[in-house]
Structure 1
């Protein structure tokens, strides 16, 4: 008898966590490209259609259970927060000229808000390590692009701010009400809800139905398959396997990751702030998930870490 099964289980969360950060950060980079090629409603429509098609194909293969009763309503509310609200605001900001880095910086405040609200709205109890880790991570988020705060984004910066509140509220709502819903079912229903909301509002939006350039098609394909279906499936898996605190610690790494990726892809300058902020955010993540060097991992703490 070998312990390969438990070993694979121990490796699963770290592997998914490593994959989650660049997938989530890619939304700001590719979102900048997409909103430069087409109107925001077109980006949203294509994103939801492609993501729904991908997840329906997955659902046809795995055949997950359908939601019951109020679960349908909870999934619809989560869709309005995590999908429609968050991305409408983020893409509107990018389209209005808010830099991808500054958008990710503002959105990077969501983990601190989620972490601090978790013990008030959920059953998860925060110890010293998660709070300290979240504060360190928030400091890293600020350092990453502190020079952007005076960069003249102006009133358009309110868009990613509203997106940040939508992300925080949606993360907490997903954990509170949808944690027992199969992952594939959750993503399918949320994408379908988001698509229906977009189509209902379409006569008022005055946007083109489809991209008109190869770059536009490539951007929305990536957003639909990778950043939407893939990243949100990973988000819900991590919320189920761990807590909102763990996910918040990972999200602290997104601004620095975005800033680093923007150098070769968008031609932005690599700054000292990005490197320093990434280092600080890494420390915050390490501390926040309970890896303090002076703490012994007792069985009770191991159970708490998995809560």
Structure 2
């Protein structure tokens, strides 16, 4: 009997690892692009370019389109997962909040998602998984404590940026649970298109209501936009929707614990930001926490 390749260890761990890496590069791309365009304007351009490419892909793959009710659920998911999350992160960074602090706040998502999943989806989370969630959060705190010096910069940004950070955290947490409950039956490509259309509408309203919409098309913006569209908006998001479809919401959310350590490694490679022993220890704790949440215990053979 041929084994299912999707159940192999390489597939089970390789796909989540690829998603974590792609998702982490979104922070790098935002850092490069934000000096040349305002947040909603930058995100609107990103969504529109992505929609064009996904439209071509949907035509080639002959994607199935959901009914009006399914499209409505997907639109809500898009507003939460893409609109609120990305808008909150970009505006918090634009307003002066250090990227380490916004990463730490968003890193609380697995705890929020697990709590919502328990209340809404009636998911059962074991003691081992709760311990893994806490361990992962401690690891993220250690990484960011050393890398960004949170004890020295906690008061160095406007208080109103916390509102954007809370919007981002709430959006990605609620959107993950909502997608698990309402949006898992849709075609991945057509479903993502509907989500991006909803997010693009949100960004368009914000850009025309609050921003000048001026863009400086410098080379760093062009390169970062290309990666944000192909690598993150298409690659990472399609993987995220696929992972949510296959796994419990709390388990998928735990993958986000790995994003700050991976981002720290990328910053070391790109910007020569050194990692000390505390940050490396925190990264190990995060990986251990994710493993405790994601890995299922072996089945017990009943005699």
Q: TM-score scaled to structure 1, two decimals?
A: 0.89
Aligned equivalents of 1:66, 1:8: Cα separation in 2: 25
Specify the alignment match of 2:248 in structure 1.
Answer: 243
Specify the alignment match of 1:231 in structure 2.
Answer: 236
> Residue 261 of structure 2 contacts residue 283 of structure 2 at CA under 8 Å; is this kept in 1?
yes
Post-superposition Cα deviations, 1:227-247, rounded to whole Å, max 9, x if no partner, equal 112111111100111111221
Specify the alignment match of 2:264 in structure 1.
Answer: 259
Q: How many residues align?
A: 295
Aligned equivalents of 2:56, 2:125: Cα separation in 1: 39
Aligned equivalents of 2:211, 2:178: Cα separation in 1: 32
Specify the alignment match of 1:184 in structure 2.
Answer: 189
Aligned equivalents of 2:269, 2:157: Cα separation in 1: 23
Q: Is 1:153–2:152 an aligned residue pair?
A: no
Q: How does 1:278-297 map to 2 (within 5 A)?
A: 278-290=283-295, 295-297=297-299
> Residue 97 of structure 2 contacts residue 157 of structure 2 at CA under 8 Å; is this kept in 1?
yes
Superposed displacement of residue 201, structure 1: 4.1
Aligned equivalents of 1:7, 1:203: Cα separation in 2: 48
Aligned equivalents of 2:276, 2:216: Cα separation in 1: 33
Q: How does 1:6-85 map to 2 (within 5 A)?
A: 6-10=4-8, 11-85=10-84
> Residue 100 of structure 1 contacts residue 258 of structure 1 at CA under 8 Å; is this kept in 2?
no
Please, which of 194, 204, 208 is the counterpart of residue 209 of structure 2?
204
Specify the alignment match of 2:222 in structure 1.
Answer: 217
Specify the alignment match of 1:298 in structure 2.
Answer: 300
> Residue 130 of structure 1 contacts residue 245 of structure 1 at CA under 8 Å; is this kept in 2?
no
> Residue 136 of structure 1 contacts residue 284 of structure 1 at CA under 8 Å; is this kept in 2?
yes
> Residue 117 of structure 2 contacts residue 177 of structure 2 at CA under 8 Å; is this kept in 1?
yes
Superposed displacement of residue 26, structure 1: 0.9
> Residue 38 of structure 1 contacts residue 211 of structure 1 at CA under 8 Å; is this kept in 2?
yes
Post-superposition Cα deviations, 1:103-126, rounded to whole Å, max 9, x if no partner, equal 211111101111222121114221
> Residue 108 of structure 2 contacts residue 137 of structure 2 at CA under 8 Å; is this kept in 1?
yes
Label 1:200 to 1:39 Cα distance change in 2 as closer, same or farther (>3 A).
closer
Aligned equivalents of 2:301, 2:238: Cα separation in 1: 29
Aligned equivalents of 1:56, 1:114: Cα separation in 2: 31
How well do the aligned residues superpose, as a CA RMSD in angstroms?
2.1
Q: Any runs of at least 4 consecutive aligned residues in structure 1 with deviations exceeding 4 A, and if so which?
A: none
Segments of 5+ residues of structure 1 without an aligned counterpart are 301-307
Structure 2 residue matching 1:268: 3-state secondary structure: coil
Structure 1 residue matching 2:96: 3-state secondary structure: coil
Specify the alignment match of 2:90 in structure 1.
Answer: 91
Post-superposition Cα deviations, 1:50-88, rounded to whole Å, max 9, x if no partner, equal 221222122112222111131111111111111111111
Segments of 5+ residues of structure 2 without an aligned counterpart are none
Q: Is 1:143–2:142 an aligned residue pair?
A: yes
Aligned equivalents of 1:48, 1:153: Cα separation in 2: 28
Aligned equivalents of 1:168, 1:185: Cα separation in 2: 22
Moved more, 18-27 or 116-125: 116-125
Moved more, 92-101 or 163-172: 92-101
